Structures are given as C-alpha cells and as structure tokens.
Amino acid sequence: MFLGSALLYGSYQLNRHWLQIPLPAGLGSYLGDVLFLPLALSLALAAHQMVYGRHATLPGTWVLAAWAGVALWFEGLLPLWSAQAVADPWDVLAYAAGALIFQLWMNKRVR
C-alpha cells in the first residue's frame, strides 16, 4: 500500500509540475493532501518498528496527533507567515481522510 501511495503521489507531482494534464478539480486540489499523512506515517511506522519490533503499530493517538499537527501547521500557522500559503478548511478534511486511510489499511504489523 505504501508503494502504491508513493507512486500515486509521485505521478501527481510529476503532472502538477511538468505534464500539467487537466485533472478533475477535487482530485487536482486535494490528492496531495490526502496522500501526505499515509506516506509520512508509513515512514514513522517503519522507524517505530525498527525500534520496537515488527509487531508494533502506531497508537491511534499518534495518528490523531499527526493529523492535528499537520492541519494546525499548514492551515492555521503557515498562512500567517507565508503569502504563498492559503488556509483551506477542505484541506483539513483531506488530511483527516489520509489519517483514516493510514489507520485502517496501513498501520499494520509486518508479517
């Protein structure tokens, strides 16, 4: 699932910066936000499992804290300091969807 998410995110960025193939509005605007937390939390899970063993998973409170921290930073604080950053409440929901995707399908023990 991580590899698929990484390939999708890479394809999205390639299209966004170079190919510029028109995408549906919702997909073009929020795909990166949805995929951000699953990718970042997968890397955190891999590090966590290196320390605590392959049976470890990230606690739900950590996933919730990651969502809250990312949402607060990118949608609350960063727009105050950067003219390029724009607060968008729909991004907060996209981050929540990504956290839910990670928690339900990616936060697993290594077999």
Q: In the predicted model, what is the mean pLDDT of residues 10-32? A: 88
What's the farthest any 2 CA atoms get from each other in the chain? 46
Residue 35 corresponds to which tokens in the numbers above?
């995929």
Mean pLDDT calculated for residue range 9-24: 89
Instruction: Output the pLDDT for position 12.
Output: 85
| Pairwise CA distance, residues 86 & 71, whole Å | 12
Region 93-103: what's the mean pLDDT? 98
Q: Is 80 exceeded by the pLDDT of residue 1?
A: no
Domain edges within the chain: 2-106
* pLDDT attached to residue 27: 81
pTM: 0.90
Is the pLDDT at 4 greater than 90? The verdict is no
Work out the pLDDT band at 97, boundaries 50, 70, 90. Answer: very high
For residue 83, pLDDT over 90 is answered with yes
pLDDT for 24-57, tens place per residue? 888 888 999 999 999 999 999 999 999 999 999 9
First to last CA, the chain: 14
| SS3 (DSSP) at 38 | helix
